[in-house]
Amino acid sequence: MFEKFCKTLHSDKPFITVEITPPHGASIKPTIEKIKNLNLDKKVAGFSVTDNPLAQLKMSGVLSAIQIQEAFKKPVIATMSMRDKNKISLQSTLLGANDFDLRCVLALTGDPAKLSDQPEVKGVLERDSTLLLSIIYRLNNGFDYSNKELKPKPKPIYPFAVANSYAKDMRRIKKKMLKKLNYGARGIITQPVYDINNAKELIEIFQECQYESVRDTAKDAVLILGQFPVVRARTANFISDRVPGITVPKDIIDEMNLATMDGVEKEQEVGFAISKTVFDDIIKLHPKVHLMTHNNFELCLALIGDN
In this structure, is residue 239 part of a structural domain? no
* Residue 124 three-state SS: coil
242 pLDDT higher than 80: no
The set of residues, in sequence order, having a beta carbon less than 8 Å from that of 25 and lying 6+ positions away, is: 59
In this structure, is residue 251 part of a structural domain? no
CA angle 198, 52, 170 (to 5 degrees): 20
244 pLDDT higher than 70: no
Residue 136: the pLDDT is 97
With the C-alpha atoms ordered 23, 27, 28, 29, is the resulting torsion angle positive or negative? Answer: negative
Residue 257: the pLDDT is 94
Q: Could you tell me the CATH number of the domain that includes residue 175?
A: 3.20.20.220
* Residue 121 three-state SS: coil
Q: Based on the structure, what is the number of domains in the chain?
A: 1
Q: Which domain holds residue 161?
A: 2-229+288-297
In this structure, is residue 161 part of a structural domain? yes
In this structure, is residue 182 part of a structural domain? yes
pLDDT in tens, 156-203: 999 999 999 998 899 999 999 999 999 999 999 999 999 999 999 999
With the C-alpha atoms ordered 270, 223, 175, 138, is the resulting torsion angle positive or negative? Answer: positive
Q: Are 112 and 123 in contact (CB under 8 A)?
A: yes
In this structure, is residue 25 part of a structural domain? yes
In this structure, is residue 282 part of a structural domain? no
In this structure, is residue 302 part of a structural domain? no
